[in-house]
Amino acid sequence: METYHSIGTSTDWIIMVVYFIVIMLFGSYFGKYNRSTKDFFFGGRRFAWWLIAFSIVATGVGSHSFVKYSAKGFQHGLASTMTYINDWFFIPFFLFGWLPIIVYTQIRSIPEYFEKRFGSQARFLATVLLLLYMIGYIGIGFLTLGKAAMPMLPKSFMLLGHSIPVTLMLVVIIIAVITGIYITFGGQTAVIFTDLLQGLVLLFAGFLLFFLGLDYVGGLGVFWHSLPVEFKMPLAEFNRPPDFNFVGIFWQDAIAGSVGFMFMNMGLVMRFMATKSVDEGRKAATFNILFMLPLSAIVVGNAGWIGKVISVLHPGIISPHTSPDQIFVVVANVVSHPGVFGFIMAALTAALMSTVDTLINATSAIYINDIHRPIVDFIHKKKQVTENRRKTEKRELNAARISSVVVTFLGVIAVLAFKNFPTVYEAHGYFHSTLTPPLVVAIFLGVFWKKVTPAVVITSFVVGVALMLLGANYPGVLIKPFAQGIQMEPHHPYIYIRAFYNLFVCSAIAVIVVYTTKYQVTWANKLKQLPNRKNIVTGLYALSTILFILVAFDLIHLVLSLISALVMTIVIAVITTYHVEYDPVKQTEGLIIWSVHKAKESFKGGKINEAEGEKVTVNWKVKEGDEDLINLSKNDLAKMKANPGDLVYLCDKRKWLGGLKSIHSRIGEPHDEDGVVYITDEHTKQGVFIEGKPLEAELEM
């Protein structure tokens, strides 16, 4: 593989540096919109669908896409797009199942959903698995940023008379410092608005690179006829080669990846939770799937296609043996002029940073909601300490910023686990195949299957992980039956198709436990009647722990490991049923797709007003008091078809702000001044309303 260094000119570097300074200042500016952790993590649930849709483009395309899909485009042609447009068939499950549940139940993190649905034990395990997933994702992002920057840097530089080699980890550390600055101080509002800007920039830059490349090779006709025949195929071959095949990519990306990305990627989930309503979130997701993803597939893969054509026509300019992970940077340098190359590279790094900053923010949210807050609440409860709500919010906001720094550091450490894979694409595929299946199965079944209990989730977590590790130790025996003819690569066996095996074992454990629930309840009840039940339960815990270690770390023969996994399934299911109090009505109502209407009523705190009225324009006046109520006139309420007690959305009438200056509140008693809304001083600060600027009032429910 040929690698490159010192690509670009001083003009390119100046443009990139200026761009980064602008982005950091732009992101840090939005720190003033963070008055609570709700604002820091969820943007205050205020934004319009179009703003979220475009910011999602930056996050989705920034998911290592420029580098990894250009690499596969260079190696395999147009088939690189197949992995970028396979989310569509899971979208209805997200739009009408998961999205309304997470919004109306007002959860602040995915582990919090697990506690409401399955109990605190399930929340703990979900937190551990989700933190591993998110930090691993951040590591992949930093790895991609480092690999993208390496071709532009020299092999070494002089510092105080010493030659300092430029290594991948050094580049990653520097990038991590830059990335962490504005996310630490800006929060989710900063992420959304910087991603809006970056989304527009990267779409423009991606198409600009494509047109420059077509012009360089002699036009669209020359480009098409110069591509090898196999590079014109829209899909890869069914089961070969091992590093890029249809069936492996389908299970890794379309199933595990799509459900993981939409259901458990807190970065994306938080973006949708920042929309002003569920309907706005649905609009954003639909627009993204129907319009933005097809365009993005061209944007992220075209450098690889152009690079392949140039390597065919001019192998002296771009070698056929160029490192695939560097092809985007090499092609951009070849087909563009100084300055333009700097702009395109700024777009690339912007896209990658969009993903990383979102993930850092999301992981920090998990820490605050699922580790920091429960621990502090436990300490205060034990010491019988009460704390003012605003003081608590200020303390948690500071903790959120500190946790962002810690998460950034852990993301850098995670790079070490992935840097030895041949390309970012393989590293990302292995990551998805390995870390997503347990949570994907638990969330999907929990949302759509009422019979799923805490015993089902906890057993599938523990035994599923053990069997996944066992499969990694015996890929030729356990994963091969699922491989569908894919050849096993000895250094990184079954990178993609292992997702099929991992999903199967987690799902199989879950289904077994579901259909044996009545036996678990019977055994657990009998256990509760025994005089020495505490000693027996302690022994069962010890047995399950020993069995997990034996299976997961391959300390016994394979056959014994499989028998141990079966025994572990029975033991964990029974002791979970014994210990965890579970109410099948209370812990499913509003928490599964079949009872979303209950979640909506709980969100409002009363009967839902489904009437569709007008939006009214009002001028605002400040009233005394701090009660979270706004007061509109009787005539304005009639136009809105709203009643006292209904939820209302107030925003600055200027549509181009996308809901930046807005609040949610509840309607209080009406008055007789038409065109006037009375709000509190806290409302003005929360919405950052400008005196004299009219607002628009809209009935929420």
Question: pLDDT value at position 42?
Answer: 47
Please name every residue paired with 187 in a beta bridge, in sequence order, or none if there are none: none
> Which of 241, 225, 223 is closest to 307 using CA atoms?
223
- CA trace torsion 70, 71, 72, 78 (10° rounding): 30
Q: What is the pLDDT of residues 130-165, one digit of tens each?
A: 888 889 888 988 888 888 888 888 888 777 777 888
Residue in the structure block whose two tokens are 């396979």 = 86
> Which of 684, 675, 679 is closest to 667 using CA atoms?
679
End-to-end CA distance of the chain: 60
- CA trace torsion 631, 636, 641, 643 (10° rounding): 20
Instruction: Please give the residue that has the higher pLDDT: either 550 or 52.
Output: 550
Cα 169 to Cα 413: distance, rounded to the nearest angstrom: 9
Q: How many CB atoms lie within 10 A of CB 146?
A: 25
Q: Which pLDDT band, with edges at 50, 70 and 90, does 296 fall under?
A: confident
Give the mean pLDDT of 265-281.
Answer: 81
| pLDDT above 70: residue 183 | no
Contact 184, 44 (CB under 8 A): no
Q: How many CB atoms lie within 10 A of CB 550?
A: 17
Of the ranges 29-33, 243-247, 525-529, which one carries the lowest mean pLDDT score? 29-33
Amino acid at 260: G
Give the mean pLDDT of 386-407.
Answer: 73
Give the mean pLDDT of 484-511.
Answer: 93
Give the mean pLDDT of 472-484.
Answer: 94
> Which H or E element spans position 99?
helix 99-104
Residue in the structure block whose two tokens are 């409002």 = 604
How far does Cα 685 stand from its chain's mean position?
30
Q: What distances in angstroms separate CA 666 from CA 275, 280, 522, 694, one per listed residue?
A: 18, 19, 48, 19
Q: Where are the alpha helices (DSSP H) in 119-167?
A: 120-149
Question: pLDDT value at position 37?
Answer: 47
Half-sphere exposure of 417 (CA within 13 A, CB side): 19
Of the ranges 78-82, 212-216, 387-391, which one carries the lowest mean pLDDT score? 387-391
Question: pLDDT value at position 541?
Answer: 93
Question: pLDDT value at position 41?
Answer: 45
Q: What is the pLDDT of residues 29-53, one digit of tens each?
A: 655 555 554 544 444 577 888 888 8
- Collapsed DSSP state (helix, strand, coil) of residue 315: coil
> Which of 673, 698, 699 is closest to 621 using CA atoms?
673
Q: What distances in angstroms separate CA 625 from CA 21, 239, 532, 668, one per listed residue?
A: 42, 67, 59, 13
Question: pLDDT value at position 664?
Answer: 87
- Collapsed DSSP state (helix, strand, coil) of residue 649: strand
Q: What is the pLDDT of residues 297-331, one digit of tens each?
A: 888 899 999 999 999 999 999 999 999 999 999 99
Instruction: Please give the residue that has the higher pLDDT: either 567 or 606.
Output: 567
Question: pLDDT value at position 240?
Answer: 87
Instruction: Please give the residue that has the higher pLDDT: either 26 or 443.
Output: 443
> Which of 253, 167, 235, 305 is closest to 426 using CA atoms?
253
Tokens of 349: 């790094």
The per-type count for the chain, helices as H runs and strands as E runs, is: 29, 8
Cα 159 to Cα 631: distance, rounded to the nearest angstrom: 65
Of the ranges 69-73, 196-200, 270-274, which one carries the lowest mean pLDDT score? 196-200
| pLDDT above 70: residue 28 | no
Tokens of 574: 């029974």
> Which of 443, 587, 364 is closest to 94 using CA atoms?
443
Q: What is the pLDDT of residues 680-701, one digit of tens each?
A: 888 888 888 888 889 998 898 8
Q: What are the chain's domains?
A: 10-417 (1.20.1730.10), 451-579 (no CATH), 609-699 (2.40.40.20)
Instruction: Please give the residue that has the higher pLDDT: either 431 or 22.
Output: 431
Instruction: Please give the residue that has the higher pLDDT: either 50 or 86.
Output: 50
Cα 615 to Cα 263: distance, rounded to the nearest angstrom: 33
Cα 291 to Cα 249: distance, rounded to the nearest angstrom: 23
Mean of all residue pLDDT scores within the chain: 85
Give the mean pLDDT of 616-636.
Answer: 88
Residue 204 burial class via C-beta count within 10 angstroms: exposed 0-12, middle 13-18, buried 19 and up: middle
| pLDDT above 80: residue 108 | no
Please name every residue paired with 652 in a beta bridge, in sequence order, or none if there are none: 695
Contact 693, 672 (CB under 8 A): no
Question: pLDDT value at position 510?
Answer: 97
pTM of this prediction?
Answer: 0.85
Q: Which pLDDT band, with edges at 50, 70 and 90, does 572 fall under?
A: very high
Q: Which pLDDT band, with edges at 50, 70 and 90, does 474 fall under?
A: very high
Burial call 83-103: b when 16+ CB within 10 Å, e when fewer: bbebbeebbebbbebbbbbbb
Percent of the chain at pLDDT > 90 equals: 36
Q: What is the DSSP string of 346-376?
A: HHHHHHHHHHHHHHHHHHHHHHIIIIIHHHH
Instruction: Please give the residue that has the higher pLDDT: either 181 or 434.
Output: 434
